Amino acid sequence: MKILLIQPPPRRIEYEGIIVPPLGLAYLAAALRGDGHDVQILDAFALRLDWDTFEARVAGATAELIGVTGMTPIVDTSLRALEIARPYCKYLVFGGAHVSAVGQKVFQQTPELDFAMYGECEAAFPQLVRALENHEDPSNLPGVITREKMNKPCELLPDLDELPFPARDLLPNELYRYALSRRERVTTMFTSRGCPYNCVFCDKSTFGSKWRARSAENILAEVEEIAGRYDTRSIIIYDDLFTVDKKRVKEFCEGVVRRGLKIDWKCEGRVNIIDGEMLALMKRAGCSMIAYGVESANQHGLDYLNKGATPDQAREAFAATRKAGIRTMGYFILGIPVETYEDARKTINFALELKADYAQFSILSPFPNTPMYEDAVKKGWYREVDAQNPMDKDLKRPVMLNENWDEEKLRNILREAHRRFYLRPGRLLREVFSLRSPSQLKSKLSAGLRLLKWSHE
């Protein structure tokens, strides 16, 4: 069957500092090609397509089945892509993190659909296509959602080493970039799926709570393919948490050093499972940045989030990472219901105290069907998100309000956080002197101008 997999166009066409591959689509494409199908990927986001050009590309693909992916914060773009794609295919399928989160509700949001799929679909999607080709009823297959019912989820894949590597040859690899990378070309990869921790705001609807990992040898083989076949040496490891298993981290890092792989990579860490020995080895293997979910400076806020960590552990982790010569990114949450405006200011001060190289401040926005979402709905704090009322990618339109936080307070604290962290003269000078290429200059200048504009709106 001829199949087109789509990453929808962006809301705005202007230059973005970060554009990364739709790895989920690339995994699906590899699985479908393994079944003998003719597969294309249209990454309309990376290509910066407007909607008219997007429609022309979809029409020209002459696909029998079109699959569109979507994430909740930008689901409006996916719904529009589905509407446009409907006349150009026999079967229309919607998948991705948004479908996994909301389930059968997607049929209320978009009547154009034939099927939706949720969970890990590398095995289930080929089964759906096989059933359609054989004129069989696919409505009882695991992971398939129809207007009438939602089947049980796909079984989580027990051995991730059995997955084929993502079909990166179907992607516009030259377009992927990350403003904080020290190299021009960037890609992403998963080395594990799932997370064993239970933060109440986190969406686990796709990969679940059970942590499953690829072997170090399997990861190294993909890294060699990325560096060799695709001439890309900057990798963002997209695991929920890369540092869970110290033994596996050690095997991977030693393998990178032993094979002489000249790469740099970023990963996600956790402040209470890191140590100096591991950090030193990660640095030797090319780790250039670790991002930590600090979330809050206030223990009562961390307890509300069920974070299972303390501010002191964050202090120790950032100091140790800095000592190892690895840059740090801190994730911080503002607008936690049990915190006040002054508590949030303590979190901003904490980001400065930690001497994080970069900080991502976000308004608390729980995903559908997470424990925090259910609690917020019950208490009347949550403003529903749909195609007409989408969650704002820039978080200017908060979706969770309570007696401590109204829209004005949330916008003000977010602006204050970005101004105080990023617009310090010393910090701006460090960014200027860290530039290594014209593309980095363009990325960081674009991001800086957007921040300045947004901070003064």
Token pair listed for 163: 């997955």
How confident is the model over 412-429, as a mean pLDDT?
A: 86
- pTM comes to 0.90
Phi-psi region of 42 (alpha: psi -120 to 50; beta: other; left: phi over 0): beta
Q: What is the pLDDT of residue 391?
A: 57
Contact 326, 266 (CB under 8 A): no
Distance CA 413, CA 417 (A): 6
Q: What is the pLDDT of residue 426?
A: 74
Q: What is the pLDDT of residue 386?
A: 55
CB under 8 Å to 312, separation ≥6 — which residues?
none
The predicted-structure confidence for 25-35, as pLDDT tens digits, reads as follows 999 999 999 99
Average pLDDT, the chain: 90
More confident residue, 313 or 427: 313
Helix H or strand E segment including 333: strand 327-334
The predicted-structure confidence for 225-283, as pLDDT tens digits, reads as follows 999 999 999 999 999 999 999 999 999 999 999 999 999 999 999 999 999 999 999 99
Q: What is the pLDDT of residue 204?
A: 62
Contact 120, 193 (CB under 8 A): yes
Of 2-11, 163-172, 175-184, 267-276, which range is least confident? 175-184
Q: What is the pLDDT of residue 439?
A: 61
Positions of E strands within 153-220? 177-178, 186-189, 192-193, 212-213
Q: What is the pLDDT of residue 388?
A: 46
Dihedral sign computed on CA atoms, order 94, 98, 104, 108? negative
Distance CA 97, CA 249 (A): 27
Q: Does domain 160-165+176-455 have CATH number 3.10.290.10?
A: no
Angle, alpha carbons 244-255-331 (nearest 5°): 35
At residue 359, φ and ψ (nearest 5 deg) are -140, 140
The predicted-structure confidence for 362-410, as pLDDT tens digits, reads as follows 998 887 778 888 888 899 888 765 544 555 555 556 778 888 998 889 9
Angle, alpha carbons 143-20-160 (nearest 5°): 45
Residue 150 per-residue DSSP state: B
Helices assigned H by DSSP within 172-296: 216-228, 246-259, 276-284
Distance CA 227, CA 96 (A): 28
One DSSP character per residue, 187-205 reads EEE-SEE--S---TT---T
Q: What is the pLDDT of residue 377?
A: 87
| b (16+ CB within 10 A) / e for 378-400 | eeebbeebeeeebbeeebebbbb
At residue 33, φ and ψ (nearest 5 deg) are -65, -35
Distance CA 154, CA 140 (A): 11
Closest to 286 in 3D by CA, of 259, 318, 320:
259
The predicted-structure confidence for 180-197, as pLDDT tens digits, reads as follows 887 779 999 999 998 888
Domain range 2-145, its CATH number among 2.70.210.12, 3.40.309.10, 3.30.450.40, 3.40.50.280? 3.40.50.280
The predicted-structure confidence for 46-76, as pLDDT tens digits, reads as follows 999 999 999 999 999 999 999 999 988 888 8
Distance CA 436, CA 423 (A): 21
Contact 113, 133 (CB under 8 A): no
Q: How buried is 180 (Cβ within 10 angstroms: 0-12 exposed, 13-18 middle, 19+ buried)?
A: buried
Domain ranges of the chain: 2-145, 160-165+176-455
More confident residue, 374 or 2: 2
In the structure, what pLDDT confidence band is assigned to residue 111 with cuts at 50, 70 and 90?
Answer: confident
Q: What is the pLDDT of residue 445?
A: 64
Q: Is the pLDDT of residue 448 over 60?
A: yes
In the structure, what pLDDT confidence band is assigned to residue 109 with cuts at 50, 70 and 90?
Answer: confident
